Amino acid sequence: MKLRYTLLLLPALLAVGCGPSEDEAVVDELTGQVLEPATTEYDMHRLLEDTDITGGQWITVAQVQAFLQQKGSYLATYKDPAWNNKTAATLIVEQSKLQTINPLYMLARIQTESSLITSGTSTNLAKATGCGCPDSGGCSTSYAGFGKQIECSAKKLRGYLVDLDAGRATISGWKPGVLKSTSDPCSVKPVNKATAALYTYTPWVGAYAIQCGRTDIGGSSLVAVKYNQFKGEYNWGTGGSTVTCYSGTVEANVGVGVCVQSSSDAIWRQCQADGTFTAGTTTKPTNCTASWPYCSSATLGRSVPARTCVQSSGDSQWHQCGAEGAWQSAPTAPTSGTGPVGTCYATYAL
Nearest partner of 198 among 285, 80, 102, 289, judged by Cα: 102
In three-state secondary structure terms, 34 is: strand
In three-state secondary structure terms, 18 is: coil
Sign of CA dihedral 78, 130, 229, 5: negative
Asked whether the predicted pLDDT for residue 16 surpasses 90, the reply is no
Main-chain phi, psi angles of 91, to 5 degrees:
-65, -40
287-325 confidence digits (pLDDT tens): 887 889 999 999 999 999 999 999 999 999 999 998 889
Nearest partner of 110 among 42, 119, 221, judged by Cα: 119
319 secondary structure, DSSP code? E
pLDDT band per the 50, 70, 90 thresholds, residue 9:
very low
Asked whether the predicted pLDDT for residue 21 surpasses 70, the reply is no
End-to-end CA distance of the chain, in Å? 42
27 secondary structure, DSSP code? E
Give the per-residue pLDDT at 13: 31
Lowest mean pLDDT among 34-38, 135-139, 257-261: 34-38
Question: If you average pLDDT over residues 145-160, what whole number do you get?
Answer: 96
187 secondary structure, DSSP code? E
The region that residue 56 occupies, defined by phi over 0 for left and psi between -120 and 50 for alpha, beta otherwise, is: left
pLDDT band per the 50, 70, 90 thresholds, residue 38:
low
Burial class (CB in 10 A: 0-12, 13-18, 19+), 100: middle
Q: Which residues pair with 268 in a beta bridge?
A: 261, 281
d(CA 205, CA 42): 10
d(CA 335, CA 342): 14
Beta strands 347-348; 309-311: pairing state: parallel
Domain boundaries, the chain: 26-233, 244-348
214-249 confidence digits (pLDDT tens): 888 788 998 998 899 899 898 887 775 567 888 889
Instruction: Give the Cβ contact number of residue 136 at 10 Å.
Output: 6
Give the per-residue pLDDT at 37: 65
In three-state secondary structure terms, 210 is: coil
Give the per-residue pLDDT at 243: 72
180-210 confidence digits (pLDDT tens): 999 999 999 999 999 999 999 999 998 889 8
Q: DSSP string of 187-204?
A: EE--SSHHHHHHHHHS--
d(CA 117, CA 104): 11
55-101 confidence digits (pLDDT tens): 998 888 989 999 999 999 999 999 999 999 999 999 999 999 999 89
Q: What's the whole-model pTM score?
A: 0.64
d(CA 174, CA 124): 28
